[in-house]
Structure formats: structure tokens, C-alpha cells
Amino acid sequence: METNPNLGPDAEIIALQALGWVLQDQDRAERLLALTGLDPRELRSGLEDPAMLASLLGFLANYEPDLLACADAIGVAPAKLAAAAAHLNSPGDFHD
């Protein structure tokens, strides 16, 4: 994946790990598509788009049980998921 030079690669990696977690559950994946208005093709083609990755993290942030479960599953603090979303929305240095 090409990385925008202004974008910390950790934020993208966290977002992709979170997406993988979301897609492991069919109901959660369907809810993601319904709430974002994306279809599977658009989702696949947007994996390098920081704004789309941020919206995926926003999807998790809007439902705390999923946010907490995802953070636990991918081994990051919930606050780090939120920080990754903020970073993807506003490129700059990414900090834990």
C-alpha cells in the first residue's frame, strides 16, 4: 500500500486491522455497509483512502461495545483507535 508521506503508517495499519475485525462478523459487516452507504466493491477500492479508513474507525467509535471489543482483539487501547481516526482525518505526526 502506498502511504501518504504526511500520514503515519501506524494509523493506516490500525484502521486495516480494525476493518478486518469488523468483517469477521457478518451482522457487523452488514451494519458497516448500511451505515456508511458503501458497497463491498467501494470498500475494497477505498482501502488506501485515509478519509475512508477514518470513517471506518468512526463507525467503531459510534458504538462503544464494538470499539472496546475491537481494541481488545487487535491489541490496542481504545483511545489509540480514536487517535488513529483523528490522524487519518488530519494528517500529521501520529502519537500513542
- pLDDT of 3-16, one tens digit each? 333 335 799 999 99
Mean pLDDT, range 55-83, rounded to an integer: 92
Residue 24 lies in a domain: no
Looking at the structure of the chain, the number of domains it has is: 1
Residue 57 lies in a domain: yes
Mean pLDDT, range 48-53, rounded to an integer: 89
Contacts of 64 (CB under 8 A, 6+ apart): none
Residue 35 lies in a domain: no
Residue 56 lies in a domain: yes
Residue 34 lies in a domain: no
CA distance 64 to 28: 13
Residue 74 lies in a domain: yes
CB 71, CB 33: distance < 8 Å: no
Residue 25 lies in a domain: no
Q: What pLDDT does 89 receive?
A: 83
In which domain, by residue range, is 53 found? Answer: 49-89
